[in-house]
Amino acid sequence: MSSFVQGQRWVVDSEPELGLGSVVQSDVRTVTLFFSKSDEERLYAIKQAPLTRIRFEQGESIQIDTGETLEIKEVLDHEGFLLYDCINGKGEDQLIPETALSANIELNSPLTRLITSQLDHPKWFGIRRQLQNGVQQVWQQQLNGLIGARAGLLAHQLYVAQQATQLEQTRVLLSDEVGLGKTIEAGLIISRLLRLERASHILILVPEALKVQWLVELMRRFSLTVQMWEQGIPVDEKAIYIASHDVLDDLGAFVEISRERWDCIVVDETHHIEYTIDEPSIAYESLDQMAQEAKHLILLSATPEQLGIEGHFGRLKLLDPNKFSSLESYLDQEKQYLDLTEIINDIENDLLLDSEKLKISQKYNVDFDQDTSNIVNELVDRFGTGRGIFRNTRNAVKGFPKRTFKEVILDAPSIEIDDVLDAKLEWLSNWLDQQDKKDKHLLICHDLETTLLIEKYLWDKKGLSCAVFHEDLSLIERDRSAAFFADSEQGARIMLCSEIGSEGRNFQFCHNLICFDLPAQPDLLEQRIGRLDRIGQTQDIKIWIPCVKDTQESHNINWFHTVLNCVEKSNPAAGQVHKEFFEAFSSQTDPKLKQVIASEARALSEDLLCEIQEGRDKLLEISSCRQPDADALVAKIKEFEKQTPFELLEVAFDALNVHFEELGNGFYTLQPSDNMLVPFVPGIPEEGAEITFDRELALSRDEVRFVTWDSPIVLGLYDLLETSEIGTATLALFPSDALPAGLVLLEGMYQLSVQHPLIHQVQPFLAQASIRVVNLENNPKDFDQVLAEDKLQDSLTKVKGQLANQIVQSKKEDIKKLGQTSEQLAKDKLADLIVKTIDNANGFYNKEIQRLQSIKARFNEQQDTTEIDETISRTEKQFDDIITVINNDIVLVQSSLRLIVTTQA
């Protein structure tokens, strides 16, 4: 035991909650301490005193009795009494005697906890180490937000999410064709922004009918906590909210919602928010105001141009008003794409002569002595639309079912509305009788009244209980109705929807679509078909459209099917052709002139479709899912997922006293218990949960949670350990024939901490998450490589409480010396890791800067290089900033210590 000097600060090993005690007096046999925190005095026999001397070291922070926190420059020892030379908040030197230390200082450093016998189970050292390494691997692979979603690993979706978040600001238009999963792409981007801590306050604006679906989708697929925004209800500054498009038209609601400082705004079905150059809608102007204040903006629209080029330009203007300042300049840029696409087609089909290759090489500075994919990527980089617009099409993403149009010609005594309606109802009733009772059928019609009439007819005529989905139902009622339809055992055979059912809701398990009437616009028809024709559909789709012969509706069906060719296929040109020709076609009574209009419209549709597919869409397809990069990303995730966190969680939950049991077939149950080590574990609900570590199993059962290194359960455990003292100090016995019994070892783990706002930009380049040191008493060497951590972990045994305390008390002074040596050994290792971290950053940024400079080099004299120059400058500055942080702001934080005492094997 050290000698006692009046004013010294000591802590009681068995009662650290008393805080720092001050030596009041001492003699040969006893010492008296006063604990101001509890206002009591204690007398201890010096020989048996359970006391530990508190000494802070250079670089640590201390709190003094005034409440101020100071950083220690130097520690001075004056005849056993400590003086701390500190720097105060003003940057001035201040000498602090240890008597001025606050009694409320938390004694939670691993070394202090170890020498005061505040010990946890020895397995916690390994848990902390594995958890830090696993989470760091996600950062190093840059897979944050990409691997935790309950979704298939589809290359185009993952690539879009990764590319959209490459820049510091994410402002993108997701315009994949219907059925390709824009909502999943948006969810991946949101998850990634959250994981990278670039956003925390997010607003999602959707049509009223889709609010619940978005809520469920984000919770079920992405494990995100989402709330409905309500006027007059205070909001959490770190939360995700869903609101209706209607708030953009409601002045009171808009004023309230626009006061919030949203980090990210997501807008689904953006084409509903109308824009023209001469007269933007109120909703558009409201959104424009909010969009320019938000750092991140994500717009979703499957039909970006079908409702008019002005509307499409208006959406791009929301993303970047400087770049898209003029419709005329935007249209001029569009014209350049056709020439480039012809070149790309010739390259891909190997149609170019050597002389043509030479001309292209000279004009565009392209090297033809490389893979075709690299040549194409260089050309797309040269002219492409950048990371602002993503449009994957069915031409590029394979695996979609075939559409088959089933026109049903009905007999009606007249063409009166009631007679036509009766004929359709009778056909529907008879048609359902002929179908397999296990099949599901989706019927969509234009209005609520027709939906209700069909429901009543089928009930009265057949006693058939239908699922219904219309605007008079509440959001919860709509969700229940969709679930009733989806139930394969006792659910409805048919769902009846008004037009609001044609957007957002997905029914891949259904293969028959009945268009009870024809929508007014081709894009609405595509939305209807898109409820079934989407990724995940396993069978061909039959599209049934009943009509009476020689009626206007029958002519309109012919128009959609044979002229616009947008029933059995998706035709992005249909909207423009429809707008230009349909009125003349429908009003024309002369059959010959009607045929002439149809021929002209058909020719224009074919020309426009070719222009789109071989022009802008072709370039967008390439840049939206570049190969082989996109497939390489999927392969990287699959390889990464082979090492699941199963073994780590099994040990951790056992240590936490969380019930973790295998249910069989790859499923497990998690159940909190009454005697858990902590009140709750983040990520685990109070009622418990079923989990799986297998992606395919997670996709097969919605109620089961999918657990990866990037899921809330793992990250919750990580946050719990990072913010608590659990496992920071442990003690174990090591049976060994190779080492003498009674030898003391100290295993230390030191976390690399980036103490700078750029932490999340630096973290991917860290060579490793932590440093491990193993040192022996009276030996200055590091035995990290000799005593491998996995083998050592398996050999250690726990020490019972009383014996553990005795070991610590007998070795207290040795432990302090071991701790000092351990910390110095860790600092010695840090220098090498800094060099490796800089090398990692150099490798990434040099490659990116070279890529950007190569793109610039391919610009011709007529092109404006302002945007690419700004990108290069911004990237170079970011590189410089990160290197500065790596050199100056990475420090070691003592994460945990494990004292190991050898015994005979």
Q: Is residue 560 part of a domain?
A: yes
Percent of the chain with pLDDT over 90: 48
Considering only residues 504 and 208, tell me which one the structure prediction assigns the higher pLDDT: 208
Q: Is residue 591 part of a domain?
A: no
280 & 163 share domain: yes
pLDDT of 450 > 60? The answer is yes
State the DSSP code for 568.
S
Q: Which residues pair with 513 in a beta bridge?
A: 442, 543
Considering only residues 705 and 344, tell me which one the structure prediction assigns the higher pLDDT: 705
Closest to 896 measured CA to CA, from 135, 105, 129, 54: 129
- What pLDDT shows up at residue 503? 59
CA distances from 468 to 209, 315, 370, 443, 500 (A): 13, 33, 57, 10, 11
881 & 743 share domain: yes
The residue-averaged pLDDT of 418-440 equals 90
CATH at residue 87: 2.30.30.140
451 & 522 share domain: yes
Report DSSP letters for 419-481, one per residue. HHHHHHHHHHHHHHHHS-TT--EEEE-S-HHHHHHHHHHHHHHH----EEE-TTS-HHHHHHH
Q: Is residue 348 part of a domain?
A: no
Q: Is the pTM of this model over 0.75?
A: yes
Domain count, the chain: 5
CA separation for the pair 381, 383 (Å, rounded): 6
434 & 489 share domain: yes
Average per-residue pLDDT for the chain? 88
Q: Is residue 653 part of a domain?
A: yes
CA separation for the pair 889, 156 (Å, rounded): 37
CA distances from 233 to 257, 270, 472, 694 (A): 10, 26, 25, 40
CA separation for the pair 38, 660 (Å, rounded): 41
Ranges 356-365, 373-382, 527-536, 760-769, most confident:
760-769
Q: Is residue 583 part of a domain?
A: no
Q: Which residue segment(s) compose the domain that 33 sits in? A: 9-107
648 & 734 share domain: no
pLDDT of 383 > 70? The answer is no
* Least reliable range by pLDDT among 24-38, 202-216, 374-388, 752-766: 374-388
737 & 674 share domain: no
Of 688, 721, 754, which closes a domain?
Answer: 721
Confidence of residue 168 (pLDDT cuts 50, 70, 90): confident
Q: Is residue 890 part of a domain?
A: yes
- Under 8 Å between Cβ of 751 and 132: yes
Q: Where are the alpha helices (DSSP H) in 116-205?
A: 123-141, 155-164, 182-195
pLDDT of 1 > 60? The answer is no
200 & 317 share domain: yes
210 & 315 share domain: yes
- What pLDDT shows up at residue 778? 82
Of 284, 304, 324, which closes a domain?
Answer: 324
CA separation for the pair 173, 388 (Å, rounded): 6
Strand order in the sheet with 21-26: 40-45, 30-35, 21-26, 9-12, 51-53
Report pLDDT digits (tens) over 543-569.
999 998 888 888 899 999 999 999 998
239 & 98 share domain: no
Confidence of residue 326 (pLDDT cuts 50, 70, 90): confident
pLDDT of 441 > 90? The answer is yes
- Under 8 Å between Cβ of 539 and 509: no
Tallying the residues shown for the chain, one arrives at 905
pLDDT of 828 > 90? The answer is yes
Three-class SS state of 898: strand
Q: Is residue 119 part of a domain?
A: no
Of 508, 543, 564, which closes a domain?
Answer: 564
CA separation for the pair 695, 266 (Å, rounded): 27
**Beta carbons within 10 angstroms of residue 323's beta carbon:** 14
pLDDT of 397 > 80? The answer is no
pLDDT of 611 > 80? The answer is no
| One-letter amino acid for residue 351 of the chain | L
CA separation for the pair 165, 35 (Å, rounded): 54
Two structure tokens written together for 388:
């602002």
CATH at residue 207: 3.40.50.10810
Is residue 756 classed exposed, middle or buried when 0-12, 13-18 and 19+ CB atoms within 10 A define those classes?
Answer: middle
| One-letter amino acid for residue 796 of the chain | L
pLDDT of 885 > 90? The answer is yes
Two structure tokens written together for 504:
């957002």
pLDDT of 794 > 60? The answer is yes
Q: Does residue 629 come out as left (phi exceeding 0), alpha (psi in the -120 to 50 range) or beta?
A: alpha
* Least reliable range by pLDDT among 53-67, 267-281, 429-443, 874-888: 53-67
Q: Is residue 846 part of a domain?
A: yes
Confidence of residue 614 (pLDDT cuts 50, 70, 90): low
- What pLDDT shows up at residue 502? 58
Report pLDDT digits (tens) over 234-259.
999 899 999 999 999 999 999 999 99
